Amino acid sequence: MSHRASTTPRPNVAPGRAQFVDEMSIFLRAVDIELPGERAAFLAEVCGEDAALRSAIARLLKEHDREDHPLDRPIVRPDEADRSAEEFSGEATLRFAPPDVGETVGPYRLREKIGEGGFGLVYVADQLYPVRRRVALKIMRPGTETGETTARFEAERQALALMDHPNIARVFDAGATETGQQYFAMELVRGVALTAFCDGARLDVRGRLDLFVSICNAVQHAHQKGVVHRDLKPSNVLVTLQDGRPVPKVIDFGIVKAVGPKLTDQTIYTGFRAMVGTPAYMSPEQAEMSSEEVDTRSDVYSLGVLLYELLTGSTPFAGDRLREAGLIEFRRILLEEEPPRPSTRFSTLRMDLATTAAAHRRLEPARLASALRGDLDWVVMKALEKARGRRYPTAAALGEDVTRYIEGMPVEARPPSTAYRFSKFARRHKAVLGTATIVAAALVIGAGVSVWQAANARIAEGQARAAETLARAAESQARRSEAEADRSRDELEEFVDRLRRATDLLGKARALADAGDRAAALKAHDQATEAQPRYFLVWSERGLFFARLGLWDRAAADFARARDLGAPATGAEFLGVPQLFIYTNRSTEYREVARAMAAAEGRYEQTELRGRLAGPLSRSEAARLAVAAERLIEDDRSEDDRSDAGPESFDRRGRIPDGVKRYIAGWAYLRAGEPDRAIVRLEQAAADRRWYGYGIVSPLLALAYAEAGRPQAAAEAFEVAERTLDGYLADAAERAEGVPPMPWFDWVEFLLFHRTAVARFGSDRDDLEERLEALRRRTLDGLE
């Protein structure tokens, strides 16, 4: 507030309307001038002798450029848990105000918008300084995890600077505007997307393969510099004509990694379609979104898709359908379905499409099919192997094999052996094979035995016929599996439709629940489960809905179902679920989840820590969890000074409040048989009023005192626990939801601890279950 005390007259203490209008017009003209020197000159000129006006404008401009402007912060810090509402209203996108043409971003003036994608907008822009040149400027939509994105962004821009290859668009600069929008300035490539170019220029197969080899070399160059593209697709390979020769340029190298949101299961919730960008070109391991780092072989897969499309005119799995598919189905297709070989794909294309595709390649359809059959088929299929170990190890190896094909040399890729093919076939058609194999085996064994037995010509003839029958059976089997593939494509379409409906219903259910209309929310949830019962989210969301109402059994049943369908056991969505399984005596489900959590060793967050602490645990395991919890406390300290977050259950970065960490550590010590240490942490946790569930510590503390041989303190703490419970029950009775105002997982943990404490200390209370049951009945009535 320093300037209030200054002697400069404040122009807006009692400003006339004229002054206000002047200020606005000068300000608006001044902000159009980017160069600081020119701006100052302009101000000097318009303000003349009027020092007061000049300083008033200067302060406006200073405010204008301020990064931490009070009006930029939302009125109340949006909460992680409120994301559903945010999405529902589309607010996530509201924050991103795309700049207009004519504006400047950093040292770039925008000229023309040339593209828009899930990650941001692309403009043609003029760089104003230090050099003047025209560039392609990619402005990113702000991600949700800004801190992390920035770090990745920084790391990646270093790598990008190292790339220098004629077939890679150069990245000149990367930076962020004062409002935090990140941008990349890239070599402006006036080209056409790869496939469009090839079809438009009616490039023959040879011409296409030549282009493809150049692309492989470019990708190889980037890989050697440690940059993986992650989003290779025709629109990221632009073709220009240089001296009449087509030259491909790969754009957007490494940008997905630099600014793309991390692909996690959570992202299905925050706009799966936008995140994955182009599913048709995605490798199975990218689709799996496992913790396995995506590597260069993922690009090899995408190159395989590119080659497939260059040859046949379509991607191995129809792109538009994949794009619309839900995560689960999308993964299933990429991980399990074998794409048709290019030659097969081509011969099964609809006649009109086949003719177009052939015309684009300047070949008769029949000749194109035969050009594809054989070696080229195997090259493509090797690049498209599900297991990356079976793919070409490098982009260069793929390019070399294509070159071998061009030169008429034998290729490295081989048709898979019969045994290999059969094993794959068996995997895909387990059920069908059950009977088919038995029949076939009977025939073969029968035949073998007969040959061995007799030299009778008539029998031999019969065997020949049997062998023929077998061959025919195999052939029709193969035909049937193609028909099946077609059918599964139709099913996919149906699936996608249902998925879309389910997603809409989930959004609606959340909004209704937030608005307090629980009966209608439940109805929407039920409809979502009917619309797409194979989608785990419909179950876990309904489970969450029930859990928030304290309807534990229903919640647990839904979460169990979600887990069966592949819901990830780690991550914030499952916080509290294992505890719920324990509380509702679902030990089988608990064990399964706990195993999955234990497998995530080393990346412990509170979902895993609290989940595992609630169940059966050895002391040494508990001690390890205590170490992990202590580490969380440490992390927090190191972050304290740049903490911009108030006390909250979760802030946007998903940080856990200190009180919760101490509570987890205390709990872990108790389980590890170290009650004294437990008491230290639990007392700290109970004294910390900055988390909502601090009351839940009391029964745990009572147990810790008892364990430490302090019966007096234990009795007192248990007394507090009982009083806390009374308070919670009174709160719950007052609220329509029938639960106290705290996160549902805190409440279920409290009930768990309380149950344990009662078993230990005894209680004169005999109406707890009844009262909880009454609350549940009331809630259920409200849902009718």
Binding residues for ATP: 138
Distance CA 21, CA 435 (A): 86
Distance CA 742, CA 695 (A): 10
Compute how many residues bind other proteins; rule: CB under 8 A: 70
Contact between 27 and other proteins by CB under 8 A: the answer reads yes
Q: Are 614 and 752 in contact (CB under 8 A)?
A: yes
Q: Are 368 and 205 in contact (CB under 8 A)?
A: yes
Window 60-89: residues binding other proteins (CB under 8 A): 60-64, 66, 69-79, 81-82, 85-86, 88-89
Distance CA 492, CA 44 (A): 67
Active-site option among 231, 299, 558, 688: 231
Smallest distance, Å, CB 579 to other proteins? Answer: 16
Window 652-711: residues binding other proteins (CB under 8 A): 689-690, 692-693, 695
Cβ count near 584 (within 10 Å): 19
Nearest residue (CB) to other proteins, 95 versus 429: 95
Q: Are 256 and 265 in contact (CB under 8 A)?
A: no
Cβ count near 361 (within 10 Å): 27
108-116 and 120-127 strand pairing: antiparallel
Binding residue numbers: 138
Q: What is the largest CA-CA distance in the chain?
A: 122
Which range in 169-177, 257-265, 642-650, 704-712 contacts other proteins by CB under 8 A?
642-650
Distance CA 464, CA 469 (A): 9
Nearest residue (CB) to other proteins, 188 versus 696: 696
Which range in 15-23, 128-136, 244-252, 578-586 contacts other proteins by CB under 8 A?
15-23
Which range in 245-253, 342-350, 358-366, 640-648 contacts other proteins by CB under 8 A?
640-648
Contact between 735 and other proteins by CB under 8 A: the answer reads yes
What residues does 175 pair with on adjacent strands? 183
Nearest residue (CB) to other proteins, 3 versus 367: 3
Nearest residue (CB) to other proteins, 58 versus 466: 58
Report the residue from 8, 24, 438, 478 that binds other proteins according to the rule CB under 8 A. Answer: 24
CB-based contacts of 34: which residues, under 8 Å, 6+ apart?
104, 107, 109, 128
Report the residue from 308, 309, 743, 748 that binds other proteins according to the rule CB under 8 A. Answer: 743
Contact between 643 and other proteins by CB under 8 A: the answer reads no
One-letter amino acid for residue 419 of the chain = A
Compute φ and ψ for 126, nearest 5 degrees: -100, 125
Report the residue from 7, 67, 94, 764 that binds other proteins according to the rule CB under 8 A. Answer: 94
Report the residue from 33, 42, 46, 59 that binds other proteins according to the rule CB under 8 A. Answer: 59
Nearest residue (CB) to other proteins, 326 versus 693: 693
Cα-based distances in Å from 542 to 231, 502, 587, 695: 34, 12, 21, 27
Q: What's the distance, CA 350 to chain centroid?
A: 35
Smallest distance, Å, CB 613 to other proteins? Answer: 20
104-105 and 108-116 strand pairing: antiparallel
Smallest distance, Å, CB 96 to other proteins? Answer: 8
Smallest distance, Å, CB 105 to other proteins? Answer: 13
One-letter amino acid for residue 444 of the chain = V
- Binding to other proteins by CB under 8 A, coded x per residue (else -) over 499-528, reads ------------x--xxx------------
Distance CA 710, CA 56 (A): 68
Window 311-370: residues binding other proteins (CB under 8 A): none
Residues 433, 436, 437, CA angle at the centre, nearest 5°?
A: 75
Catalytic residue flag (residue 231): yes
Question: Does the bond joining 130 to the residue before it have cis omega, within 30 degrees of 0?
Answer: yes
Smallest distance, Å, CB 69 to other proteins? Answer: 6
Report the residue from 727, 759, 769, 777 that binds other proteins according to the rule CB under 8 A. Answer: 727
Smallest distance, Å, CB 629 to other proteins? Answer: 20
Contact between 100 and other proteins by CB under 8 A: the answer reads yes
CB-based contacts of 615: which residues, under 8 Å, 6+ apart?
578, 582, 590, 591, 594
What's the 3-state SS for 397-444?
HHHHHHHHHHCCCCCCCCCCCHHHHHHHHHHHCHHHHHHHHHHHHHHH
Distance CA 291, CA 273 (A): 20
Smallest distance, Å, CB 91 to other proteins? Answer: 6
Contact between 17 and other proteins by CB under 8 A: the answer reads yes
One-letter amino acid for residue 518 of the chain = R
Nearest residue (CB) to other proteins, 15 versus 615: 15
Distance CA 73, CA 540 (A): 32
Give the single-character DSSP code of 168.
B
Contact between 772 and other proteins by CB under 8 A: the answer reads no
Residues 139, 141, 147, CA angle at the centre, nearest 5°?
A: 105
Which range in 242-250, 307-315, 462-470, 736-744 contacts other proteins by CB under 8 A?
736-744
Window 545-604: residues binding other proteins (CB under 8 A): none
Nearest residue (CB) to other proteins, 61 versus 402: 61
Which range in 19-27, 163-171, 434-442, 521-529 contacts other proteins by CB under 8 A?
19-27
Which runs of consecutive H residues, i.e. helices, occur in 110-171? 146-161
Dihedral angle at the C-alpha atoms of 462, 463, 466, 467, nearest 10 degrees?
-140
Smallest distance, Å, CB 130 to other proteins? Answer: 27
CB-based contacts of 403: which residues, under 8 Å, 6+ apart?
213
Which range in 53-61, 185-193, 198-206, 343-351 contacts other proteins by CB under 8 A?
53-61
Report the residue from 268, 742, 748, 752 that binds other proteins according to the rule CB under 8 A. Answer: 742
Nearest residue (CB) to other proteins, 143 versus 693: 693
Contact between 34 and other proteins by CB under 8 A: the answer reads no
Binding-site ranges for other proteins (CB under 8 A) = 1-4, 12, 15, 17, 20, 23-24, 27-28, 31, 56, 59-64, 66, 69-79, 81-82, 85-86, 88-91, 93-94, 97, 100, 511, 514-516, 646-650, 689-690, 692-693, 695, 724, 727-728, 731, 735-737, 740-743, 746
Catalytic residues: 231
